[in-house]
Structure 1
């Protein structure tokens, strides 16, 4: 019998059986036959695989894993992306059964359904000490010649923050594409990655236009041009600028709505590396997973191997510990801090007490007279207290000031909308206990203020103290010079790292609360205005600050590796706020290293760090083997064949990282190697602030250098000297190398076994 006829007969028989028995199929069987996008990792093609050289068509190799026969009704291509650089593999639309069949093919490594990541959702240059006429801005020429790739939700191309007047053309190395109508010398590339989504909607390639503002905001924070007379509804007036105003931008749209599909992110990273970016900024994240399952970690490793600095948001799941995203040591993990600008809205009670909060919406015509005050949870229902949609029905709030509670997964602005819909005149939004004193300024839909948990408790006490409680809101506008800033935002995710506890994360904190940056839509119904700005908060905002600062350092020090740039940032940070006290968290208590990492970024000091801790790509292999990963798992990250047995593994703490995170029994010794980038003839003396309960000995105690780029190695021995600490308790300190000109600090976190 002709084989093709036989196969066809079998197929038709099975198809007929499927129709006849379809109603009897279980949900599990239906799920097995459902198409979904998988990330498939395979071995790299080589001699003997297809009988060709290593230069064979990678796309053909990837297609060889796809099923030969698919349903005739399936008109959409199965292949979504064929990756070249970030991983050896592809994204394809497959059924669970097809993936199971694929596992038997030679060269197959692994496959998983793609994950969906989420976005981690001006005055800051001055707050960070950036000045046009001196310092790192001038010395780096404002980031001139550096290309920052932003993976986000696209941009509004014709916003003034992205104008190219006076900008040089793209560097000769640039090989990027433009899917906008036309790019310019500021935005030199723009691409949209949504093949899977476009196929399902029957669409072709769409330009990377911003649909919700997040991408425009982050891109302009990293590298927006100087724009005079920026403000948001009349507040925060001044000149807006990104961290690297003369850097070029390459836009990679990977987020559509709230979803940032893993397949899109890998494709964009693949393109960015190929096209020649210098810095990558990803205000995206997911719950922590092992690095060999983490697309940003895998793609970031490929970028790092190609000399590209990768800056990522730490996540918005704080203040609980072990809530980080983007934990890999070759990524910069950025937490969020406040700045010294407040947009003040004061809740004034009938007893004369006043509590400062914040709101961007500051109406001039809101009466200062006292109005009746009510608590949204007066009916005893928690859902009413949270002011969710429809929860105020049956509660008389008309013409009154309504006290609502933060949380419940309900957006702050949405709570105000519910109050407004119910007829309320104004809203006081109080924090939950976990948010403490961290508040945000929002573009509320009615007169409102966001106050601390402590203030909320006092307002509740006042409500219970009188039969006729009253309140109003006084709008005081923009106030600068808050001495408690920077402080750690309550939402900023905290360490220790779950994926690699021996690496201290986050690495650093930077401005991420009430950040003014470009916005694609008018907030005041002025549809003719293109010079629109908005204020947002999140580690999505802190990440591009550090991306832009990395671009400045890359411009100022073009030969520095990504690890050197990270080291310069981390060892030069601030530990104190502008009032001269230790940086605090949402409780107003000193923040620990799992909230701050090395500390708050100081761009000017990062430009002249004195010493750096460098790491080469191959140095990560013994570290990854030391995590207990299998050869193939390390190979997924390294994008090459790895045999851990052939190269001794190292414990996490032995990686040449600019910080220490130690699980301490009786004693532990680690070594570090520093490179002199300060002055040729110099000496550095060590100063130790030992963690409580730990003795710290550094040998040698002085490092001598006679030339630039000279290396020196030292050892640090940590010994437990206090047995009263319980297993799992943490303590912290730091060591600092000090010369006549430079100070190089490394934080220490110790967990007792």
Structure 2
């Protein structure tokens, strides 16, 4: 067929499901964690000239987070509009919500019976409204969830404009609808596309989202996506193309402390979003329900003695914890003590259950079992203690956040960044309760949610601010600025960001380049320009055929190299992070990079390496001198294996190298991983 490059089967994808702007440094006033107000917010005018395209479940347009009081006229480059539909018309849009469309063609073909679906951009799920408010919600006083996190709520880019593209419905998000929404967002003229959705892990020429993102990037649009919630397994990360910015999730310095007091006086600490007024007012009998892997039959089978009890349980993967709470309540339980097992082993996540609930670490289950076995009449009561700020350590890499290495091409680091994604306050739709359960009749304006879905819009908002502050910066330049200024240390002096799943220091396979710091990205010193020619050369290095490369880039490309040279092309991708894969008997490997000066003329930088034990590292040259603004210079990084004292060679090593400005303030940091080929294959073989 003329005009058709290829035909792909449709797929159904799923959603990846405040204090946080301040925690990433975007401060509107000085506070205990903010020594000065944000220059980025000021210079970018709160992102007013940028438009964020949100691909999700739609939006609740009447929410005060999306009011337009005091906003400038709609940016002239935006050409979109608001589409009429059920319970939604053009009058619902304003100078804040400037575009709203829905895409259901693929979904209608796949599902046939739409049931109660509302065919418009209106959000009857809550997820889309939540992520939109995180990225670009206006300030709303008195926000909070039943007294928790009660402050002024606002998004990362509070005056950026929002254009929503509803692609997700009750049974998921159809790939064909997502691709159509991409095309529309590009035509409309958005500056950022934000996707908190699932993804397929396919070669790039078979990955329609990667292809759509490439075409958007060509038009100067940054594409931001969530890494996924299937961690902590290695190789689980989604959105693997280098032209997409992939975001993992971590905590902020706020939690919702609660405690269980056992009948013997012992205290077990946890997290809760249940107000103290709703907790059991006296000691109640404790029952141990155990691990729930199939709640639908277990709860019915063991429910006769639940009435009036506090039930202890822990859940396996694929079990809806909200549904567990609902069933326990229906059987007369008065409260639930729950552990999320490997999804959240430290019990960091607080959830809005219909039943009074406290989340505890998996390790605390053993203490409870010991007490139950030693007491003839085990009892407990639960205390909820509200909201705590300035919590340490923070951030912590969430166990559920997906990890690298990259399944399609391990030399491209994924995820790229980590951002706030645990217990995040955001706007909500009044159509559904905070658990999304039909039986949950609570009506709220704000909800607290957890997932890489919540981390993604933090980065989308930051990108919108940077684009407004630096209109000439390309998506690759903005990505570089964010990655090289991200932090790898938490708020405990001298301590690196820790990994919830292991209790050890986190590494680039979990946090990417580090935790988001958009304020520092305003002035990064040096940037790694990622141009589309870089991506084309990279695709040649992947040994793709001319037809396969054309599917991605939209034109014929002559790679002009032999097979021996293609591995070399992979080392030339000008990525702000370095992953080197070595053969079993290979002693040395190297990469080449190119940096551009976006600081002052006449500046000098010196290279410094941290970590990478088991390898000798050489950077050539060791010093870079830039005579003018905008000048580009190249350098090479090479690593050589060295034997330890026992004569062994390492197959995995992690470190960082920095370009430190001499006599200046800029530090340009990149993570470096060295992986043995067999080590990578061993990880990916298990998937």
Residue in 2 that maps onto 1:428: 337
Residue in 2 that maps onto 1:123: 19
Residue in 1 that maps onto 2:507: 592
Which runs of structure 2 are paired with 1:479-628 in the superposition (5 Å)? 479-521=388-430, 523=433, 532-580=445-493, 581-586=495-500, 587-628=502-543
Contact 1:345–1:448 (Cα < 8 Å) also in 2: no
Shift in Å, 1:653 = 3.1
Q: 1:667 aligned to 2:588?
A: yes
Q: 1:734 aligned to 2:630?
A: no
**SS of 1:351 mapped into structure 2:** coil
CA distance in 2: counterparts of 1:453 and 1:231, whole angstroms: 28
Structure 1: gaps of 5 or more residues:
1-41, 43-60, 63-88, 90-108
Contact 1:496–1:505 (Cα < 8 Å) also in 2: yes
Contact 2:339–2:365 (Cα < 8 Å) also in 1: yes
Choose 164-173 or 559-568, whichever is displaced more.
164-173
**SS of 2:14 mapped into structure 1:** strand
CA distance in 1: counterparts of 2:278 and 2:536, whole angstroms: 63
Choose 161-170 or 642-651, whichever is displaced more.
642-651
Residue in 1 that maps onto 2:546: 631
**SS of 2:396 mapped into structure 1:** coil
**SS of 1:297 mapped into structure 2:** helix
Deviations 1:156-193 (A, max 9, x none): 01100000111122222211121141211001110001
Residue in 2 that maps onto 1:722: 643
CA distance in 1: counterparts of 2:604 and 2:303, whole angstroms: 74
Choose 195-204 or 319-328, whichever is displaced more.
195-204
CA distance in 1: counterparts of 2:114 and 2:382, whole angstroms: 51
Contact 1:500–1:652 (Cα < 8 Å) also in 2: no
CA distance in 2: counterparts of 1:249 and 1:748, whole angstroms: 36
CA 434–231 in structure 1, closer or farther in 2 if over 3 Å, else same: closer
CA distance in 1: counterparts of 2:182 and 2:317, whole angstroms: 35
Which runs of structure 2 are paired with 1:240-259 in the superposition (5 Å)? 240-259=153-172
CA 123–296 in structure 1, closer or farther in 2 if over 3 Å, else same: same
**SS of 1:424 mapped into structure 2:** coil
Q: 1:745 aligned to 2:652?
A: no
Residue in 1 that maps onto 2:618: 697
CA distance in 2: counterparts of 1:409 and 1:482, whole angstroms: 30
Structure 2: gaps of 5 or more residues:
29-36, 678-687
- Asked which structure has the greater RCO (Cα within 8 Å, sep 6+), the reply is 2
Shift in Å, 1:514 = 0.6
Contact 2:280–2:334 (Cα < 8 Å) also in 1: no
Q: Which among 166, 181, 185 is matched to residue 95 of structure 2?
A: 185
Residue in 2 that maps onto 1:685: 606
Residue in 1 that maps onto 2:144: 231
CA 599–187 in structure 1, closer or farther in 2 if over 3 Å, else same: same
Residue in 2 that maps onto 1:114: 10
Shift in Å, 1:462 = 2.0
Contact 2:134–2:426 (Cα < 8 Å) also in 1: yes
Which runs of structure 2 are paired with 1:11-160 in the superposition (5 Å)? 61=2, 89=4, 110-132=6-28, 133-160=37-64
Shift in Å, 1:752 = 2.6
Deviations 1:192-223 (A, max 9, x none): 01123446459999320101100000111110
CA 515–708 in structure 1, closer or farther in 2 if over 3 Å, else same: same
Q: CA RMSD in A?
A: 2.4
Choose 280-289 or 185-194, whichever is displaced more.
280-289
Contact 1:404–1:429 (Cα < 8 Å) also in 2: yes
Shift in Å, 1:439 = 2.8
**SS of 1:376 mapped into structure 2:** strand
Residue in 1 that maps onto 2:75: 171
Shift in Å, 1:307 = 0.5
Q: 1:341 aligned to 2:254?
A: yes
Q: 1:412 aligned to 2:357?
A: no
Deviations 1:521-569 (A, max 9, x none): 27599x9999710011111000000000000110111111101000000
CA distance in 2: counterparts of 1:424 and 1:530, whole angstroms: 23
Shift in Å, 1:243 = 0.6
Q: Which among 652, 655, 669 is matched to residue 570 of structure 2?
A: 652
CA distance in 1: counterparts of 2:428 and 2:648, whole angstroms: 50
CA distance in 1: counterparts of 2:388 and 2:97, whole angstroms: 34
CA distance in 1: counterparts of 2:329 and 2:466, whole angstroms: 48
CA distance in 2: counterparts of 1:622 and 1:688, whole angstroms: 28
CA 394–552 in structure 1, closer or farther in 2 if over 3 Å, else same: closer
Residue in 2 that maps onto 1:396: 305
Contact 1:189–1:249 (Cα < 8 Å) also in 2: yes
Shift in Å, 1:257 = 1.6
Shift in Å, 1:270 = 0.4
**SS of 1:437 mapped into structure 2:** coil
CA distance in 2: counterparts of 1:657 and 1:594, whole angstroms: 15
CA 197–423 in structure 1, closer or farther in 2 if over 3 Å, else same: same
CA 725–433 in structure 1, closer or farther in 2 if over 3 Å, else same: farther
Rg: which structure is higher? 1
Choose 429-438 or 254-263, whichever is displaced more.
429-438
Contact 2:106–2:175 (Cα < 8 Å) also in 1: no
| Structure 1 segments of 4+ aligned residues over 6 angstroms from their partners | 202-205, 527-531, 723-728
TM-score scaled by structure 2? 0.90
Which runs of structure 2 are paired with 1:265-414 in the superposition (5 Å)? 265-377=178-290, 383=293, 390-414=299-323
CA distance in 2: counterparts of 1:394 and 1:248, whole angstroms: 50
Contact 2:299–2:328 (Cα < 8 Å) also in 1: no
Contact 2:81–2:99 (Cα < 8 Å) also in 1: yes
Contact 1:250–1:277 (Cα < 8 Å) also in 2: yes
Aligned length: 644
Contact 1:417–1:446 (Cα < 8 Å) also in 2: yes
Residue in 1 that maps onto 2:685: none
CA distance in 2: counterparts of 1:466 and 1:126, whole angstroms: 47
CA distance in 1: counterparts of 2:218 and 2:384, whole angstroms: 51
Deviations 1:360-403 (A, max 9, x none): 222415345321111113xxx8647x686634535512111110
CA distance in 2: counterparts of 1:744 and 1:452, whole angstroms: 37
CA 161–467 in structure 1, closer or farther in 2 if over 3 Å, else same: same
Shift in Å, 1:582 = 0.9
**SS of 1:661 mapped into structure 2:** strand
Contact 2:205–2:551 (Cα < 8 Å) also in 1: yes
